[in-house]
Structure 1
Amino acid sequence: MSEHGFGAITGSAYMAVVVFLFVIAAAFLVLALVGPYRLYWRSRPQAARQPSDAALTAGRVVAFGIAGVFVFGGCSVQAGIDERTWSASEVREAAEEAAESLADESRIRSDPTDGYASLIEAGVTKAGEGEGPSYDVSVERAGDGNDYEISADGAGTVCMHVMEEKSAEGGVFVPGADGGSSGSIPEYDLTATVEGGAC
């Protein structure tokens, strides 16, 4: 089974656990707030040796504590789920951060086939570290230009438009084979914008 399929199954299982933990927490919270056991003992005659008010208060405090433990457990599992899945806003934020990082330094012109897809994917993965699994990030070149569709685990798709401008700093120096001549590979300054939806 693929990592993606495995993640989807465990994600559903984790959500079931979260719901279960919150339901149990809610039950203990109701028990603490309403105190049905208090109503039960008060309905019985004094000869039934009903517990003191202090004992009933202690029981309510314990019920609150148990509810808190289950709430904490549910929140912890939910946080784990968030780390294993992407949301549409996380994809957008990671893409925008990756777009900003493209302008940090000049680049050699993109590969004719891949374009800047690999570079963008690395940037999105780095920017989204901790938001979701890196293997769910997908960057596809749209057409022959410099438009790229970015998605992650089906959480949403954004389009990054990359613009090239020849760098004023020149390029990468390449020595000639005969040792006398030389040349350079031009570098380009990149700017990028991100829009919601497919390109």
Structure 2
Amino acid sequence: MVVIVILFVIAAAFLVIALVGPYRLYWQARPHAPRQPSDGALAVGRVVAFGVAGVFFFGACSVQESIDQGTWSASEVREAAEDAAESMGNEPQIRRDPTDGYTSLIETAVMKAGDGQGPSYRVSVERAGEGHDYEISAAGSGTTVCMHVAEKTSEGGVFVPGADGSSDSIPEYELTATVDDGAC
């Protein structure tokens, strides 16, 4: 953060130099001084000062953007969790691991919903208790949201043929999820 402030201060200093033109003020105070630069040279100096100010301003903005892409904000975590909750309710889901519940499904949905908001590898989803409550957090945000998942068995399911010619059905669940601020 200090680097960004320093880059903006340097850009502002060069902008002041370009706007005020201290060389022009200095040479106007000494009109008969030897080796006085021409008006064209002073204009080029001002254009160069504008260019240098622009370079430092662009550098500060680039550093700020890279820092922003490397961390999650609290609002981004909440928004990604809400988008994930909405997308999970669009299609029936299969519970893959009874001990895991929907943790991997939620983590994938949050990473997909938060694409471009923060680094996806910094998302953490943990099951809270025995029910279907999940705590979602992301590194750098300093916040945790709680997703409550309610499931309802849907009609049919996925039929899996057995080796002996029989078939079993794996149930599908229709999910509805809500998101609250704070831990579960």
TM-score by length of 1: 0.83
AA aligned to 1:185 is I
Instruction: Give RMSD over aligned pairs.
Output: 1.9
Counterpart position of 1:4 = none
C-alpha distance in structure 2 between counterparts of 1:59 and 1:47, whole Å: 19
| Aligned with 1:94 (options 80, 83, 88) | 80
Counterpart position of 1:23 = 9
Kindly state the Cα deviation for residue 131 of structure 1 after the two structures are TM-superposed.
2.0
User: Matched residue of 2:115: which SS?
Assistant: coil
C-alpha distance in structure 2 between counterparts of 1:196 and 1:46, whole Å: 72
Deviations along 1:103-133, one digit per CA (max 9) or x if unpaired, are 2321123633211111101111122222222
Counterpart position of 1:105 = 91
C-alpha distance in structure 1 between counterparts of 2:39 and 2:109, whole Å: 62
Kindly state the Cα deviation for residue 149 of structure 1 after the two structures are TM-superposed.
0.9
- Percent sequence identity over aligned pairs: 75
User: Matched residue of 2:30: which SS?
Assistant: coil
Note if 1:183 corresponds to 2:168: yes
Counterpart position of 1:143 = 129
Kindly state the Cα deviation for residue 134 of structure 1 after the two structures are TM-superposed.
2.1
C-alpha distance in structure 1 between counterparts of 2:158 and 2:176, whole Å: 20
Gaps of 5+ in 2: none
Q: Aligned ranges for residues 33-48 of structure 1 at < 5 Å?
A: 33-48=19-34
AA aligned to 2:144 is T
Deviating 4+ runs (over 4 angstroms): none
| Aligned with 1:163 (options 150, 169, 174) | 150
Deviations along 1:44-73, one digit per CA (max 9) or x if unpaired, are 132434334443233222211110111111
Kindly state the Cα deviation for residue 151 of structure 1 after the two structures are TM-superposed.
0.5
AA aligned to 1:187 is E
User: Matched residue of 2:26: which SS?
Assistant: helix
Q: Aligned ranges for residues 80-91 of structure 1 at < 5 Å?
A: 80-91=66-77
AA aligned to 1:191 is T
AA aligned to 1:165 is K
User: Matched residue of 2:154: which SS?
Assistant: strand
C-alpha distance in structure 2 between counterparts of 1:152 and 1:186, whole Å: 32
Is the 1:96–1:193 Cα contact (8 Å) retained in structure 2?
A: yes
Deviations along 1:146-177, one digit per CA (max 9) or x if unpaired, are 11111101412111111111113x11113345
AA aligned to 1:151 is S
TM-score by length of 2: 0.89
Gaps of 5+ in 1: 1-14
Counterpart position of 1:9 = none
